[in-house]
């Protein structure tokens, strides 16, 4: 992959994450719903798809069946937050 392509891909991921962050800040209930859904599915087989599907059905966050890099990063961070919270107990 060329440097220009790599830079454009990183810019695209950043822009997608920024749109997501705007949604969460505009509707803070998304955060609690996302965490609740992640807690429910985190230990299941195919957890990422289960989380994405339920989160998409319950909120304005729409995660497509084919995850892009920003979707993968968001799901990874979401599961890390839930694992961190579980480690506290």
| 75 burial type by CB count under 10 A (0-12 exposed, 13-18 middle, 19+ buried) | buried
Residue 45 reports pLDDT greater than 80: yes
Mean pLDDT of 19-23: 87
Do residues 77 and 51 touch, judged by C-beta distance below 8 A? Answer: no
pLDDT of 73 > 80? The answer is yes
**Rounded to an integer, what distance in angstroms lies between the CA atom of residue 81 and that of residue 83?**
5
Tens of pLDDT, residues 63-72? 999 998 889 9
Q: Is 24 helix (H, G, I), strand (E, B) or coil?
A: helix
- Categorize the per-residue pLDDT at 1 as very low, low, confident or very high, splitting at 50, 70 and 90: low
Q: Which residues contact 50 (CB under 8 A, 6 or more apart)?
A: 41, 44
Give the tens place of pLDDT for each residue, 30-41: 999 999 999 999
């Amino acid at each position: 992959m060329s440097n220009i392509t790599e830079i454009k891909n990183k810019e695209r991921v950043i822009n997608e994450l920024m749109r997501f962050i705007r949604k969460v800040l505009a509707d803070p209930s998304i955060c609690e719903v996302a965490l609740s859904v992640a807690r429910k599915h985190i230990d299941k087989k195919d957890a990422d798809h289960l989380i994405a599907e339920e989160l998409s059905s319950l909120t304005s966050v729409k995660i497509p069946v084919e995850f892009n890099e920003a979707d993968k990063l968001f799901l990874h961070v979401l599961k890390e937050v839930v694992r961190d919270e579980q480690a506290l107990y």
